Amino acid sequence: MILTRIQTIDERILEKISRMHSPFRNRVMKIITSLGNVGWVWFLLCLVLLSLPKYRNAGVNIIFGLLINQVMGEGIIKHIVKRTRPCHLLDDDEQIINRPKHYSFPSGHAAASFAVSAVVLCTCKWYVFLPVLLLAALIAFSRMYLRVHYLTDVLCGAILGFLCGLASVALYQNFLQSTFNFS
């Protein structure tokens, strides 16, 4: 009963978001979502942080956070829940991007983005955190805009990612920093 209600709300939200579609916005959202593909924008951020002695530990910590997140979200939860993506219910002419092959819940893009956000929140200055958070939110929203995720996929992915990022910081500070201290 509650899952049916959640599904109905998710579908209504996607319907409202789809009213925002335009050729220009579609192109912008495709670019934004591509930044989260395979987490490449976050690995690029890692390279930048690793190159700065003051932020090396943050870069290493992001890698740990992304690994924890990958195991939890993509490796375990998606295969337990097995939720069908909204795009698999659409006609081909309604698709803006190619249909992803894997399950919908939780959103891997949102999870990875918010795992990085949590690490940056805990390890960097506010002026580093704010643009990271903004980009994470844009990537998460783009997944709904492009109809490859429901709101609950994105919200739960963001929560999962944030918790994985916090767990990474805690594990790193308490157990791994003496072994992997690069500063």
pLDDT digits (tens, 9 = 90+) for 22-44: 999 999 999 999 998 988 899 99
The arithmetic mean of pLDDT across residues 95-112, rounded, is 85
Residues of the chain by 3-state class (helix, strand, coil), percent to 5? 80, 0, 20
Which residue bears the tokens 């932020």? Answer: 55
Q: How far apart are CA 73 and CA 67, in angstroms?
A: 10
Say if residue 119 is exposed, middle or buried (CB neighbours under 10 Å; 0-12, 13-18, 19+).
Answer: buried
- Indicate whether 180 pLDDT > 70: no
pLDDT digits (tens, 9 = 90+) for 43-66: 999 999 999 998 888 999 999 999
The amino acid occupying position 182 is: F
Query: Whole-prediction pTM value?
Result: 0.89
Q: How far apart are CA 39 and CA 119, in angstroms?
A: 15
The amino acid occupying position 65 is: G
